[in-house]
Amino acid sequence: MTKIYAIVNQKGGVGKTTSVINLAANLAENGRRVLIVDIDPQANATSGIGIDKNDLERSMYDLLLEESTAVDATIHQEEFRLDVIPSHPALAGAEVELVNAIGREYRLQKGLDGLNGRYDYILIDCPPSLGLLTVNALTAAKDGVIIPVQCEYLALEGLTQLVQTVELVQKYLNPNLKVRGLIMTMYDSRTNLSRQVVEEVRRYFPGKVFRTIVPRNVRLSEAPSYGQPITAYAPKSPGAMAYKVLTAELIKGDKS
């Protein structure tokens, strides 16, 4: 059975795209068949995995407007042994174009249905908002959401609203939706603040925070400009180690 997760947080810059790319790359290294689905018009996951967003025949835009199947919109990245449904800046307009469309919240789910078990994991990279694109991702994410949280002041701000949105989508659109886990990102071991934020989030979401914490690591921020996951760019870096262990934790939790 394919596991489908949406990586979501309406705050920008918390590590959504970094987590999608590096979880996907590690899942692929573990022999899993992986698809990255980029539903953020900024297309950072697309470019971060080495695909030129300005040179696409088909993208998420065409999928949501039902002008392409998921299979036809998929690009195979042989180098990292994973597949990508790329995003495109035109996707920013889809939110408006779909406003009156029938079944507008289900477009992604319907599209991914056509993949018929080709993948073990599908990871959806969401934009920094709770609009229709994110709602499409939440509706398609049959196995839940993964929420990256940056270890900084006011980390919890916005999470109440995010949880409310998850509950609304669960009630009306996707009865199986749940919070699969929270990833603490950009942890700085030199500060008390990072430690306090982790404790606070653990208290707020008991049992839901992944044990593996992702440190602040400059290698992780450099890798996307080379179009590479950390497994290729700096496999021995602390950031690479963290995502490797985090991936193992995810796989283990999915088995039990």
Residues that bind Mg ion (CB under 5 A): 16-17, 44
Taking the C-alpha atoms of residue 123 and residue 145, their distance in angstroms, rounded to an integer, is 10
- Nearest 5 degrees, angle CA 86-CA 92-CA 94? 90
Per CB under 6 A, the list member of 6, 23, 123, 220 interacting with ligand ADP is: 220
For the chain, how long is the longest CA-to-CA vector?
A: 51
Nearer to ligand ADP, 16 or 142 (CB): 16
Is the Cβ–Cβ distance between 202 and 159 less than 8 Å? no
Interface map 14-33 toward ligand ADP (x if CB under 6 A) = xxxxx---------------
Give whichever of 10 and 17 is closer to Mg ion, judged by the CB atom: 17
- Distance in angstroms (rounded) separating the CA atoms of residues 194 and 96: 39
Q: Which stretch binds ligand ADP (CB under 6 A): 64-72, 113-121, 203-211, 216-224?
A: 216-224
Residue 39's contacts (CB-CB under 8 Å, 6 or more residues apart) are 60, 87, 91, 108, 124, 125, 126, 127, 133, 134, 136, 137
Identified binder of ligand ADP from the candidate list 111, 227, 229, 239, rule CB under 6 A: 239
When the beta carbons of 12 and 93 are compared against ligand ADP, the nearer one is: 12
Chain positions contacting ligand ADP, by CB under 6 A: 12-18, 44, 128, 185-186, 214, 216-217, 220-221, 224, 239
